[in-house]
Structure 1
Amino acid sequence: MHVIDNIKTVHDGWGRFHLVTLRSPDGSEHLRQVEDHGEAACVLPYDPVRHVVTLVRQPRVGPLFAGDGGVLLEAPAGLTDGEAPLEAARREAMEETGLRLSDLDSVGAFWTMPGCATERVHLFLAAYGEADRVGAGGGVPQEGEEIEVVEMPVAVAARQVASGGICDMKTVLLLQALQIRHPALF
């Protein structure tokens, strides 16, 4: 069995960064890097009457750092901040899109980068209607999120996945789950 022998914290901020000594069953040791910031939740709001999804467009430092433009179109998401994933998904949807979501349908919980991070993201689908748009969205002002709310037909979103226009993995997975569970929307 693999065992962690030592953990050295090299940064403790929004996320914690650790150097971890991993001991393999044969006794060999390997140094690994781990980023730890906790659980996350993500929800894809969709209107089954109008056949649209609500996404957010926002700058992301990871893709920008990697030289890939830095602005992504994605489903509302964020850390759970100690809440149940379902409640975190509802909070994120309200903050980012202004949608009040009630019934969420779980798609599952998935490790995003198991080779170097502890993040597991809980994914949900949520139907909404016109009356559920109770705010403007755009994120929490003091967090500097610069979020643009984007509502688009589900068929357009599917084409953007196929063409690479939507390249956020959690959003792609949720759109595919929506297509499997509700093919008539497409």
Structure 2
Amino acid sequence: MNGSIHDRIRIKHVKVLSDDWAILKKTTFDYLRKDGTWQTQNRETYDRGNGAVILLYNRTARTVVLIRQFRLPAYVNGHPEPLIEAPAGRLDADDPETCIRKETEEETGYRVSQPRRVFNAFMSPGSITERLVFFVAEYDPSDRIAAGGGDASEGEEIEVIEPTLEAALAMIERGDIIDAKTIMLLQYAQLKGLLAG
């Protein structure tokens, strides 16, 4: 079938179901199938904006900077422990690089000098509109200018941890790290040899 996807989608109705922390919409649309028939479908989309995430790594010590924090959605789905993650945040009105510099300092206390953009990814495209921009950056202990810990007014209570890359990869194997964006960045670091001597 030729033509763009725009020619195969006809939005019929959009209803806002919730507009609190983010926007939940129900969309009714017609979709042109490859056999030439139109099919009416209903989908819900959750729009919390786009975001950025970063893996800080120290080549000399072979360490990475991760955070540990409570996540209610993981908790209600049976994960009783705070999640271990790479620092991340919503873009809001910022560009990705400005966002990740600000979030990294707020969450970890580290000032990032040269974040390097490595890829973008949709994290759950079946229902969530969010696209993340992934960064990596080298860090030195002297780059830590504050304690970190997040923004208490936003309910954040963040612990900073600095495992070796090998220890972090083992945490994935054991199921201690189960956050997708963090797994992707740790595997990227391993595949690209970011901490190779």
TM range (shorter): over 0.9
**What amino acid is aligned across from residue 65 of structure 2 in structure 1?**
T
* Contact 1:139–1:145 (Cα < 8 Å) also in 2: yes
Tell whether 2:166 aligns with 1:166. no
CA offsets 1:108-156 (integer angstroms, 9 cap, x no match): 1101111111100111111010110111000012111111111111110
CA offsets 1:6-50 (integer angstroms, 9 cap, x no match): 110011122000011121112221111110011010001111111
* C-alpha RMSD of matched pairs (Å): 1.3
Which is greater in Rg? 2
- Pick the aligned partner of 1:7 from 9, 14, 19: 14
Secondary structure of the structure 2 residue equivalent to 1:152: coil
Structure 1 residues 133 and 183: CA distance shift in structure 2, 3 A: closer
Equivalenced residue count is: 186
CA offsets 1:31-85 (integer angstroms, 9 cap, x no match): 1111001101000111111110110000001111111215100000110012111
Instruction: Please name the residue that 2:123 is paired with.
Output: 112
Secondary structure of the structure 2 residue equivalent to 1:116: coil
* Contact 2:101–2:112 (Cα < 8 Å) also in 1: yes
CA distance in 2, matches of 1:177, 1:111: 16
* Contact 1:46–1:52 (Cα < 8 Å) also in 2: yes
- Pick the aligned partner of 2:66 from 35, 55, 59: 55
**What amino acid is aligned across from residue 113 of structure 1 in structure 2?**
S
Task: Give the TM-score normalised by structure 2.
Answer: 0.90
Structure 1 residues 90 and 183: CA distance shift in structure 2, 3 A: closer
